[in-house]
Structure 1
Amino acid sequence: MDYKKEYKAPESYCNLSFDEPILNWDEGIPLGNGLTGCLIWGDGSPLNFSLDRGDLWDKRPASETLRDDFNYKKLIELVENKDQQGIRNLFDNCYNKPTPTKIPAGKLILDYGKVNNISSQLNIENAVADICIVKEEETSNIKSFIHATKKIGLMAVSNYEMVKELKIIAPRFGVKSDKLEDDGYKNEDKLHKSITNLVYPKIEFHKEDNLRWFVQRTAEDLEYGIILGQKVIGDNLYIVYSIGSSIDGQDWLEEHKNNILEALESGFDTMLIDHINWWKKFWEKSSITLYDKELEKMWYLTNYLFGACSRKNAPPMPLQGVWTADNGELPPWKGDYHNDLNTQLSYLHYLKANHIEEGESFLDFLWNLLPEGQEFAKKFFDAEGLCLPAVMTIDGKPLGGWPMYSLNLTNQIWLCQFFQRHWEYTGDDEFLENKAYPYLRETARCMLRWLKPGKDGKLYLPLSSSPEIHDDELEAWLTPNSNYDLSLLRYLFSTLCTMAEVLGYEEKSIWKEKLELLPELAVNENNVLMLCPDESLKESHRHHGHAMAIYPLDLLNYNLGGRDKEIIDSTIEDLEKLGKGLWVGFSFTWMSKFYSRKGNGEGAVFQLQLFWENLCSKNGFHLNGDYKSKGLTNWHYRPFTLESNMCAADSIQEMLLQTFDRVIRVFPAIPYEWKKNGTSFNDFRGMKGILISSSIKDDRVEYIHLKAHKQGEYTVQNKFNSELIIIKRKNNIEKVNCKVGLNFIVDLMANEECTITAK
């Protein structure tokens, strides 16, 4: 069977469909364009359009983070003195203050009064929501979308006279006249979830012809507003809205008013054309066909969520993307940027899914924060080089929190992986020279400030931890070096060696020397990766940071067999024995990655099924806990975050294709049913930017199609049931003999394509 490129849009079963009212904001229909987000929910009395904008932040710092002794040296001193309360007072309690925080924009409501029935659907192919309201003998339909490339949302409401009220609702922030403290801090012992703790000047509402809006000034220079325009044609009401902000410039309000008037004049259908064209191009980038249609739906829906909340030239997704909570409270964990897992998992899958431009939002964000990272390295770590806080604001400032994680030195290295992966998956050596290598080198300079020789001559950190192990207790300070810290350090210096070699830099010898001075990973008598040299994991735990070397760092390679295989097998078996009692959503998706690395497709799928069926909302949002109380885990809360959704999509991709060691392996970890009944993927991206497509059916790989981005040799594992390989190019056919399971080489010119089959 020869490969034929076909555009495969998401099928109808991948859509969201509700035949009853959506009563929770975190189950709403999600719309977005990377900057603006909307959640549609409610029973018609009213129907809510909860709005968010990705760059709306109250960035007022907690006073502790401005103190001269808010630094690593003081933290080391307090840890050495076992002063737990001192640690909490200076580094942790500041996180419990209301700011800094992501803030909601407000919402629009369509109030129909009491209705007989309401049904909703989201078509993810064109990113358009349809809501049907039935009241007595009448029906009203609302079609809604947020424009893919413009800063506006649109609605078309039929039989609009059924609508009792169309209204803009502003967030119920505290008002200075309420005699609340100006900083909003009433009690520093626990996090104040209510947004009334954010105290701002009184909101201003305005109206002008067919436009209305509000302006909310905050405690800083930021001001923003929701602007709404409407136009009646026949029995249809057309609504255009926008979230404007002073971030857009001095004349932001007039700019957004004009945008709305232009959109009303152009008409709903005209604006829809460009919107649909953008999403069509988005879906053309890659596709999959799975035997398991629920997991296929999860992959497509997750890619939709990614396209809706991450775009070039827009802020990257924080914990909730562009869907801040609409329940009168601050968003979960203040909607910040968590760099001890959350941001990293959120941007795992986009490269292989071939959504490069959308993913560059995070890469550009990190690069633009280079000055802030250098300043924080100097101020907090007393170091040259680069290090961002592990829990930070949109402008790279620390929020505090459990310092063993929120201010951990090596989390910065995990951010480095995005520069390395971007280089690997694009083959862009100019990017390597001008951005990737300098970013990693600056990070290494900061690490070297604190790596000191121990009695054995090896390099150790003064403080070490593994994310969220032992919570914020003194026991959380593990014996250096934890496997989490050590894995990241070994990754950093080995990657710098590789990069320096490609660039021909003599610095390679420096990085090689540092790598050789690092201890080996701590492995216990059962061949299990430990937390640190003198402690193994003894109970179920949500964060698999001690096993970073397996994934995502790939320091251990199961395909090599021997010691690496033994450690991976034993570590996974140990996690199985400890159980899932204290896991959250990302624990399952991360565990799925471990199974895929050892070729266990059944295990990889099972973890994803548990995640999808038990820890996700009706709209697909990951809710962290076993909120249905099925007994899957001991966590029964439901704070919404996105990282596990993206991690799950990446896990599916790793089951279908692996190229991490520069060998193209198709279908390395899929269940037998998938092999038998048919599975395929199109235009997944591999190393050096090569696009890969493949299909398997009746337990036989039908073809592998390659399209090279740049000239080079590409190593492919023979997954065919034949030792005779046929490589078909445009002008010739080549035959290669290769034993099943071994590798063969394909030479390709830039932009050249070939189809590989077996006789």
Structure 2
Amino acid sequence: MSKHDLIVDQPIARWDEALPLGNGLTGCLLWGNGKPLRFSLDRGDIWDLRLAPEVLDNGFTYAEMIDCVRRGDQESLLNRFDSFYETYPYPTKLPAGSLELRFSKHADKMRSHLALEEACAHVQLTFGDQMVGVSSFLHALNGLGYIRMTGAAETDGFLEVLPPDYTGAFQEESNDPVFATSLTRLEYPAAAKHSEGSLQWFYQRTCHELEYAIVVAQRKTDDGTREWVYAITANHDEENWLENAKRKVTDASMEGFDHAFREHGTWWGRYWAKSSISLPDAEAEKQWYLNNYLFASCSRKGAPPMPLQGVWTADEGLLPPWKGDYHHDLNTELCYWHYLKANHLEEGESFIDFLWDLRPQAHRFAQSFFDAPGLNLPSVMTLTGGAMGGWPMYSMSITNVIWVCQAFDHYWLYTGDHDFLRDKAYVYFKETADCVQRWLVPGEDGKLRLPVSSSPEVHDNLLEAWFDPMSNYDLALLIYLFRRLKDMADWLGHEADADRWANVLAGLPELAVNERHVLMLNPKESLQESHRHHSHMMAIYPLQLLDHRGSERDRKITDATIANLERLGKGQWVGYSFAWAAAFYARQGNGEAAIYHLRQMWQHTCSPNGFHLNGDYKRAGVCMFHYRPFTLEGNFAAVSALQEMLLHTDGETIRAFPAIPRDWAKRSVEFRDFRGEMGVLVSARLHADKLEYVELRAEREGTFRVQNSFAGERLMLRIGSSGQEVHCSRNEIFTIALEAGETCMITSL
């Protein structure tokens, strides 16, 4: 895997170009020129959870929002639901602090190397004729950070622990509260710094319940090597949290860097063994490995799922962009698109577990805001599900939670776990429907509708953003919700429930399509300019309500709507827009367009370290946004689209290499242990325009459907020591019955 490593042969000048390390809960960004070498630290559950007073007001309700919309009262909408997002610096995710390894001058030469296979950063600094090496990793299991330095003079390479600057001079770089709010606005007291023997730490109080610290222990080995072990700890960890952290880092420092690294490397070895790819496109292959590394670094079972920036909160003396919150109108969903097919279940379960554990809060929010049974969540929310406000048509949408539901649906489909379907997926969908149905009423045409509707983030937060009749975005989510509920009820044998959901589904209108067969924003308005959020196209992807391989009508609508994107252009796109568009093209079977859009994103909207920076910050002319706020959803949406080019598994049908570019097909393309639906792992190889094999490995008993993508009609199926010849026309479907644990190798005769 070394060819996929990050290597930088010059000082790294910015935190968003740093070498990223992470273990799901804790993150580190390593950058600088030696004066200093900076370790910017973060922890996923370090939050200021204070809510704005407006959220606690009796008028903070869906009914009041509807009334304001119907009155056209923009001022009340802003005051009650929107403006306080900018007025108050909280709630917000917080930076944890940093470590600085200081030398007497900046390095003359530097080489920074992130080894993905072992999840370890190595920095080589040259000071004249002196060479200094620094290595660092965040332990995959024990949560501690490790640093080792060799070659430094006795008087050089001093490590200091630094708190965030909550009390510095109040300065803002601009008048934009989304991107440039000083930490001083939080009004926290100064941190207390301490040292004791080999230990140093700071202790940070806040003006709410949170207290936290960074503790570092130092050790010098017999050969003069210096090692440090650090921990980020908080008062919600345990009793005696600070003293326990001191003990942990002291004990770990005595065991040493090498001892910890062996255990750490074993975990990452198991992670990388879960799946692999081999592509003739070096950039695409590297991006797959790099982003799977980022995923395991910032999403881990037992830790909070990634918010906008994962475990790498901005290190600029400011609040993170958009306060580092959880956005459910696109961001969290795209972050968790790819992991199931990549066969990284445990890491992705972080999101599922988080949503499930928040059910009590989701019930309370459904009752307090929507005056409804069931569950719902704010679409812009804190770590604990608190509403943060913002553009109300999106931050307080009643349907965005349906998109969140898809995480449960996908998990059930890819694992085939019927217990999960019965005990969690169906429950979450049903409780979501209970809330939504409270507000679904027949319109003049007799069809069900919502009282207010929108299409993120069309028309921003203007009154024009409120649609009547209902938007295709909201409608597609509603169709998906009740269609999947019916399917789940059928699987579970709940006949009465299945009839109930079918009746609701029959009461919904059809998706709005204009005279050119293009999906509209709503029945009265078509998209007239490029837009970053492809919300009107949800029915194509990710909801897959329209099947490009299905009816002529579905194919015509899909092709016309994608063509319309091309007509409107990309001027107002951001990075994730390109990744999402690549998914559309992959569903269409157009590998050329899919990889083109992925390259546009990777080359023009991503930092050298792979971070998705949203805008065309290099000013290459691919879109009109030239800013660089780091968020992660574009990273994983792009990997998902790449995987869709290699394998389709929808409808329980396995299709190998359905959307790869022509030049890839002429060479060699291979993937191993991608996850298909209903608990089957799929491997396949294509070489010189010919499919060489497809292999299925069943985790549970089932009958699996496979499309014949081989050159001929005579196929050999080998299960264990037995073989069976099958005749199947090209592009037709054949089935294979497997017991749990069986493997079937499919080749052409």
Q: TM-score, normalised by structure 1?
A: 0.96
Match of 1:305 among 285, 294, 297: 294
Q: Corresponding residue for 1:255? A: 244
User: The residue matched to 2:353 in structure 1 has which SS?
Assistant: helix
User: The residue matched to 2:650 in structure 1 has which SS?
Assistant: coil
Distance in 1, Cα, partners of 2:2 & 2:551: 43
Q: Corresponding residue for 2:165? A: 172
Matches within 5 A, 1:317-336: 317-336=306-325
Distance in 2, Cα, partners of 1:561 & 1:575: 22
Alpha carbons of structure 1 residues 668 and 198: separation in structure 2 relative to 1, 3 Å:
same
Distance in 1, Cα, partners of 2:396 & 2:650: 30
Distance in 1, Cα, partners of 2:262 & 2:243: 25
The letter of the residue matching 1:603 is A
User: The residue matched to 1:572 in structure 2 has which SS?
Assistant: helix
Matches within 5 A, 1:409-420: 409-420=398-409
User: The residue matched to 2:666 in structure 1 has which SS?
Assistant: helix
User: The residue matched to 2:445 in structure 1 has which SS?
Assistant: coil
Distance in 2, Cα, partners of 1:163 & 1:384: 63
Distance in 2, Cα, partners of 1:630 & 1:756: 46
Distance in 1, Cα, partners of 2:478 & 2:130: 65
Give how far 1:601 is off.
Answer: 0.3
Give how far 1:163 is off.
Answer: 2.5
Q: Corresponding residue for 2:723? A: 733
Q: Corresponding residue for 1:194? A: 182
User: The residue matched to 2:365 in structure 1 has which SS?
Assistant: helix
Q: Corresponding residue for 1:145? A: 137
The letter of the residue matching 2:143 is K
Give how far 1:73 is off.
Answer: 0.7
Matches within 5 A, 1:223-302: 223-233=211-221, 234-302=223-291
Q: Corresponding residue for 1:652? A: 642
Alpha carbons of structure 1 residues 164 and 304: separation in structure 2 relative to 1, 3 Å:
closer
Q: In the comparison of the two structures, how many residue pairs are matched?
A: 741
Q: Corresponding residue for 1:68? A: 58
Moved over 3 A (4+): 187-192
Distance in 1, Cα, partners of 2:453 & 2:652: 32
Matches within 5 A, 1:45-84: 45-84=35-74
Matches within 5 A, 1:497-508: 497-505=486-494, 506-508=496-498
The letter of the residue matching 1:110 is L
Q: Corresponding residue for 1:160? A: 152
In the alignment, structure 1 segments of 5+ residues that lack a partner are: 1-10
User: Is the Cα–Cα contact under 8 Å of residues 95 and 191 in structure 1 kept in the other structure?
Assistant: no
User: The residue matched to 2:164 in structure 1 has which SS?
Assistant: coil
Match of 2:206 among 218, 221, 241: 218
The letter of the residue matching 1:741 is N
Distance in 2, Cα, partners of 1:589 & 1:115: 38
Give how far 1:368 is off.
Answer: 0.4
Distance in 2, Cα, partners of 1:39 & 1:190: 22
Give how far 1:479 is off.
Answer: 1.5
The letter of the residue matching 1:119 is R
User: The residue matched to 1:150 in structure 2 has which SS?
Assistant: coil
Distance in 2, Cα, partners of 1:160 & 1:520: 70
Match of 1:129 among 121, 131, 137: 121
Alpha carbons of structure 1 residues 190 and 35: separation in structure 2 relative to 1, 3 Å:
closer
Match of 1:594 among 574, 578, 584: 584
User: Is the Cα–Cα contact under 8 Å of residues 579 and 638 in structure 2 kept in the other structure?
Assistant: yes
Distance in 2, Cα, partners of 1:722 & 1:188: 61
Alignment partner of 1:375 is 2:364:
yes
Q: Corresponding residue for 2:599? A: 609
User: Is the Cα–Cα contact under 8 Å of residues 137 and 146 in structure 2 kept in the other structure?
Assistant: yes
Identity over the aligned pairs, expressed in percent?
51
User: Is the Cα–Cα contact under 8 Å of residues 98 and 191 in structure 1 kept in the other structure?
Assistant: no
Give how far 1:635 is off.
Answer: 0.2
User: The residue matched to 2:107 in structure 1 has which SS?
Assistant: coil
Alpha carbons of structure 1 residues 51 and 401: separation in structure 2 relative to 1, 3 Å:
same
User: The residue matched to 2:228 in structure 1 has which SS?
Assistant: strand
Q: Corresponding residue for 2:541? A: 551
**Residues 299-351 of structure 1: per-residue CA shift (max 9 Å, x gap):** 10000000000000001000000000100111111000000000000001000
Alignment partner of 1:756 is 2:712:
no
User: The residue matched to 2:546 in structure 1 has which SS?
Assistant: coil
Give how far 1:160 is off.
Answer: 3.0
User: The residue matched to 2:651 in structure 1 has which SS?
Assistant: coil
**Residues 272-307 of structure 1: per-residue CA shift (max 9 Å, x gap):** 000000000000000000110101000100000000
CA-based RMSD: 1.3
Match of 2:412 among 423, 428, 433: 423
Distance in 2, Cα, partners of 1:412 & 1:336: 16
Distance in 2, Cα, partners of 1:556 & 1:189: 40
Distance in 2, Cα, partners of 1:347 & 1:633: 25
Match of 2:334 among 340, 345, 362: 345
User: The residue matched to 1:300 in structure 2 has which SS?
Assistant: helix
User: The residue matched to 1:638 in structure 2 has which SS?
Assistant: coil
Alignment partner of 1:480 is 2:469:
yes
User: Is the Cα–Cα contact under 8 Å of residues 58 and 219 in structure 1 kept in the other structure?
Assistant: no
Alignment partner of 1:704 is 2:694:
yes
User: The residue matched to 1:200 in structure 2 has which SS?
Assistant: coil
The letter of the residue matching 2:497 is E
User: The residue matched to 1:288 in structure 2 has which SS?
Assistant: strand
Distance in 2, Cα, partners of 1:747 & 1:199: 64
Alignment partner of 1:394 is 2:383:
yes
Distance in 1, Cα, partners of 2:360 & 2:179: 30
User: The residue matched to 1:692 in structure 2 has which SS?
Assistant: strand
Give how far 1:538 is off.
Answer: 0.2
User: Is the Cα–Cα contact under 8 Å of residues 228 and 240 in structure 1 kept in the other structure?
Assistant: yes
User: Is the Cα–Cα contact under 8 Å of residues 178 and 322 in structure 2 kept in the other structure?
Assistant: no
Match of 2:422 among 398, 420, 433: 433
Q: Corresponding residue for 1:687? A: 677
User: The residue matched to 1:160 in structure 2 has which SS?
Assistant: coil
Match of 2:505 among 515, 535, 546: 515
Q: TM-score, normalised by structure 2?
A: 0.98
Distance in 1, Cα, partners of 2:613 & 2:35: 26
Q: Corresponding residue for 2:197? A: 209
User: The residue matched to 1:295 in structure 2 has which SS?
Assistant: helix
Q: Corresponding residue for 1:106? A: 97
User: Is the Cα–Cα contact under 8 Å of residues 703 and 755 in structure 1 kept in the other structure?
Assistant: yes
User: Is the Cα–Cα contact under 8 Å of residues 147 and 229 in structure 2 kept in the other structure?
Assistant: yes
Distance in 1, Cα, partners of 2:128 & 2:135: 21
The letter of the residue matching 1:454 is G
User: Is the Cα–Cα contact under 8 Å of residues 162 and 202 in structure 2 kept in the other structure?
Assistant: no
